[in-house]
Structure 1
Amino acid sequence: MTTAPVFNAIVGQKHATRLLKTFIRNGTLPHALLFTGDEGVGKKTTATAFAMACNCLKLKSAIRHHRSPLDVIDACGDCGPCRKIAGNHHPDIIRVAPQSSVIRIAQIRTLLQTLTLKPNEADRRVVILSDAQAMNPEAGNALLKVLEEPPDRTLLVLTARQTSDLLPTIVSRCQHIRFAPLGAADIKRLLAATGGMKPETAEAVAALCGGSYTRAVQLIDSRWLNRRDWIIQVMGSQMADNGTLGIRAWLAWSEMLAKKKDRIEESLEIITMWLRDMLVFSTDPQRVLNQDRLEALSTAAKQARQTQLLQQIDAVDRALTALRSNTNARLTLDAMVLQMAGACIR
């Protein structure tokens, strides 16, 4: 990941960029690519770098005259097409993204209409369809038409979290490239480049973000850290009493979680992270994500049983799945905390 959309500036995705460079050097470009991986690992940036490399005038000339080694297969960033693509105003680099969290059939129909026309100026027209998992079924089926009969000089790049989020017929028509989570060292280096951050803060955030630079940037926000600390404090109180606080206390917590509707999923991810750390702390402290809260974690881990933690993690996972299916948030959270409370009773 980088702000400069060229292969050699992308952090932590050597396997993906090496494959793409090989396709370009050998002239074996697939008509459709599917990039999968967590948000914030470089999929969209790599898609832009790919579009630039496919249309870079200097790279095209270099490949025509000799077989270049892979480490020099990259866009120059200076020619006309490179500058236009980097500036997001190239007429033949088409970007499709969710509108209000959904990619609708109208967007795909508009794309199909555009693709009936020849590219304006690009050697290779590139369609970058971000967050393809957001396509509704109608949009997904409509996209199949262009995947089955790709227009001349047109490449499609889809990005998604995982293949299971897409129609199998779409996945089968794409060359799949998996993007790995970024390493903690890569995250720390990217955060350091932003400036003004203490090394200990960067280290804590790099451990917590799960290999996602996007999530790391979100975690820098003091509101996230304050919310995490509040959740840790409440969970410590709830679980230390082995359920004796009563159901009302757990339901009161559910009510507080539900008040911040736009942060419910984030809160459940924090809860899962803390429960997971409690589970692994006694056997492998080095794998703990909340490295900056080891003292509190040590106390919490002594108060919980393995079976209890597994049951609570399962309750949170079920709640997350239900919320992503648009169930009633308050009822879902009530069910979750009741299950968590029940797991505390010895």
Structure 2
Amino acid sequence: MKTAAGFNAIVGQPHATRLLKTFIRNGTLPHALLFTGDEGVGKRVTATAFAMACNCLTLKSVIRHHSSHLDAIDACGDCGPCRKIARNHHPDIIRVAPLSSVIRIAQIRTLLKALTLKPNEAERRVVILSDAQAMNPEAGNALLKVLEEPPDRTLLVLTARQTSDLLPTIVSRCQHIRFSPLRTADIKQLLAAAGDIEPESIEAVAALCGGSYTRAARLIDSRWLNRREWIIQVMEIQMADHGESGIRAWLAWSEVLAQKKDLIEESLEILTMWLRDILVFKTDPQRVLNQDRLEALSTAVNQVSQTQVLQQIDAVDRARAALRANTNARLTLDAMALQMAGACLR
């Protein structure tokens, strides 16, 4: 998932890179590719590596001399086209991404206009359309035109989380490649290479990030780790207090949560992971996300029943849905806290 050296620098996606190398070696490049998978698993970086390989002058010579070994199919990183693409300076590598969370029809019309012209210098012009699920219906329908009648020497690479987020007509016109979540070992490798990070933090975040390096890089922030620690400590105390006084503590906690509105979603996500781990711990400790807090989980399992935990998860899910609908944050969190307190009293 590093950016400068092509396929062989991509971590954790051997299936995807093998397919792309095979297309290039055999000269069977699809006119449109669809990369699906979670955010932070390497879709955009792989799209850039693919664009480099399609235009690398050194690789072109290798293929001309009939080298059939897949390991030889990669961009050199040193020729003119490779350097321009790696630096995002190549005129024929066109990138389209959401503006304010949406890809609008005006962006697709601009793209279509550009594609009526011949490539400036590339062997293969490559369009990388990131987060294609963000296209509004008009933009999606406009894109169909270029997918149905692809311009000469032009390849399109769309990225999205899942095929169901796109128009079926778009999916049907693309060669689909699924990207897997990164393994914990891959995340650890990438975090270790990123800089001076404590091994304990790497261990915790690699288990919590769900196979997404983007998410791991966000979670490694000490502020997130401190917030997780605070939420777990609060849950340890309040789950142990089954008395009426506990209700006041739950409401005081919801008041603190509501004070930092930009962190509410993050806090509820941490809370959901913790409650989920309590359910999982008794039957399959290896699947626990908070691997560094196994002792606390062991205590929590003996404090609350499965039914109580499920009721608390339901309360958090309801709050998250209500907040996405722009309800009053304080009132929503108070309602969640009361439901969670009520679950502990049962």
The answer on 1:270 being equivalent to 2:264 is no
TM-superposition CA deviations, 1:98-153 (whole Å, max 9, x none) = 22222222211211111111111111111111112222222222222222222221
The answer on 1:260 being equivalent to 2:260 is yes
Contact 1:115 1:151 in 2 (8 A): yes
Distance 2:322 2:31 in 1: 36
- Please state how far the C-alpha of 1:53 moved relative to its aligned partner: 0.6
The answer on 1:147 being equivalent to 2:156 is no
**Change over 3 Å in CA distance of 1:213–1:61 after alignment to 2:** same
- Please state how far the C-alpha of 1:213 moved relative to its aligned partner: 1.2
**SS of residue in 2 equivalent to 1:15:** helix
Distance 1:321 1:282 in 2: 28
Contact 2:238 2:246 in 1 (8 A): no
Task: Map residues 1-346 of structure 1 onto 2, 5 A cutoff.
Answer: 1-242=1-242, 244-245=244-245, 249-321=249-321, 323-324=323-324, 329-330=329-330, 332-346=332-346
**SS of residue in 2 equivalent to 1:151:** coil
Distance 1:130 1:335 in 2: 38
**Change over 3 Å in CA distance of 1:166–1:295 after alignment to 2:** same
**Percent pairwise identity:** 86
Distance 2:204 2:109 in 1: 45
Distance 2:206 2:216 in 1: 6
- Please state how far the C-alpha of 1:64 moved relative to its aligned partner: 2.3
Contact 1:62 1:68 in 2 (8 A): no
TM-superposition CA deviations, 1:306-337 (whole Å, max 9, x none) = 12222333443444455456565555545544
**Change over 3 Å in CA distance of 1:110–1:242 after alignment to 2:** farther
Contact 1:47 1:128 in 2 (8 A): yes
**SS of residue in 1 equivalent to 2:91:** coil
Distance 1:318 1:22 in 2: 47
Distance 1:12 1:201 in 2: 21
Q: Runs ≥4 in structure 1, deviation > 6 angstroms?
A: none
Identify the range of structure 1 (332-341 vs 116-125) with the bigger mean alpha-carbon deviation.
Answer: 332-341
Name the amino acid aligned to 1:42. Answer: G
Name the amino acid aligned to 2:165. Answer: D
RMSD: 2.2
Name the amino acid aligned to 2:12. Answer: G
Contact 1:243 1:342 in 2 (8 A): no
**Change over 3 Å in CA distance of 1:102–1:338 after alignment to 2:** farther
Identify the range of structure 1 (25-34 vs 315-324) with the bigger mean alpha-carbon deviation.
Answer: 315-324
- Please state how far the C-alpha of 1:225 moved relative to its aligned partner: 0.7
**Change over 3 Å in CA distance of 1:209–1:151 after alignment to 2:** same
TM-score, structure 2 as length reference? 0.92
**Change over 3 Å in CA distance of 1:317–1:125 after alignment to 2:** farther
Distance 2:255 2:142 in 1: 42
Distance 2:332 2:115 in 1: 44
